[in-house]
């Protein structure tokens, strides 16, 4: 009887741990949860001078809320950056602004093996108009954050203002992103777009996102540990009572 009760307790303890916490063979796991909300201060500033269109001037600052709606499964083994799962979410602007956010932002990464992420990112290529090119990124790594910076040249549509003109220009794009090692959430990013008309400088636009601390959901691992610590003793007591087994020795 005692062995049956112990087996039941072990089984129930395992069932307390959801699949989202399961690590892949390389130690990667999500530390964010579906429904988690992350707040950012977003700024866009600078100017752009298209050749055959009106100039664009930006000086904006607003609050954005990202809600993580779905976490893709982490493959058993990752060998390429394109295999990195996405934390899919929606973004809304808290102050009612209709300003668009410049693309190229991933709001969360799986944690547990930052060395692996850097290795496969370093070997990855970016798809450009003239083919695939290595990112040649610069990496940042300390006890709290991991991130990267890379630049590339592109021929892009200028779509900085909703409903505004969208001329096409040469552009050097520099993308910098830092992720918190504690939960894998994007802590800050900076996207710089340097425009050119031929060889002439045609302006620079900078977008920044900085996570606002204080809007925080405990990582899933922390929540599960607390639940297990509280639940296991309660299950032992309940099972012992149902089996009429003393919970202590007189």
User: 184-230: per-residue pLDDT in tens?
Assistant: 999 999 999 998 887 788 899 999 999 998 654 444 444 444 444 55
- Buried b / exposed e over 180-210, threshold 16 CB at 10 Å, is bbebbbbbbbbbbbbbeeeeeebbebbbbbb
The pTM assigned to this predicted structure is 0.71
Structure confidence by residue, pLDDT tens digits, 155-169: 776 665 555 556 677
Alpha-carbon separation of residue 196 from 56, 105, 200 (angstroms): 14, 23, 5
Instruction: Assign 238 to helix, strand or coil.
Output: helix
Give Cβ neighbours of residue 2 (< 8 Å, ≥ 6 apart).
243, 245
Instruction: Assign 158 to helix, strand or coil.
Output: coil
Structure confidence by residue, pLDDT tens digits, 99-145: 455 555 678 999 999 999 999 888 877 766 566 777 788 999 999 99
Give Cβ neighbours of residue 115 (< 8 Å, ≥ 6 apart).
none
Report the alpha-carbon distance of residue 186 to residue 171 in Å, rounded.
25
Question: What sections of 162-218 are H helices per DSSP?
Answer: none
Report the alpha-carbon distance of residue 40 to residue 17 in Å, rounded.
30
CA angle 101, 127, 70 (to 5 degrees): 50
């Amino acid at each position: 009887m005692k062995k049956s009760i112990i087996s039941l307790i072990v089984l129930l303890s395992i069932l307390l741990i959801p699949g989202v916490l399961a690590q892949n063979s390389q130690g990667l796991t999500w530390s964010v949860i579906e429904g988690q909300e992350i707040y950012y201060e977003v700024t866009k500033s600078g100017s752009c001078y298209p050749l055959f269109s009106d100039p664009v001037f930006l000086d904006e600052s607003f609050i954005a809320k990202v809600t993580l709606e779905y976490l893709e499964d982490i493959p058993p083994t990752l060998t390429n950056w394109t295999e990195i799962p996405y934390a899919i979410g929606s973004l809304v602007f808290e102050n009612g602004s209709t300003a668009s956010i410049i693309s190229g932002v991933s709001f969360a990464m799986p944690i547990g093996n930052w060395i692996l992420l850097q290795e496969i990112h370093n070997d990855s290529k970016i798809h450009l108009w003239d083919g695939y090119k290595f990112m040649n990124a610069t990496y940042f790594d300390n006890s709290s954050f991991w991130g990267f910076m890379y630049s590339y040249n592109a021929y892009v549509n200028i779509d900085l203002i909703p409903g505004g003109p969208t001329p096409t220009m040469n552009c050097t794009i520099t993308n910098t992103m830092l992720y918190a090692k504690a939960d894998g959430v994007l802590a800050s990013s900076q996207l710089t777009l340097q425009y050119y008309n031929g060889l002439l400088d045609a302006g620079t636009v900078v977008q920044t996102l900085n996570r606002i601390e204080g809007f925080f959901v405990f990582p899933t691992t922390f929540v599960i540990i607390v639940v297990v610590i509280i639940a296991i003793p309660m299950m032992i007591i309940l099972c012992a009572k149902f089996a009429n087994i003393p919970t202590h020795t007189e």
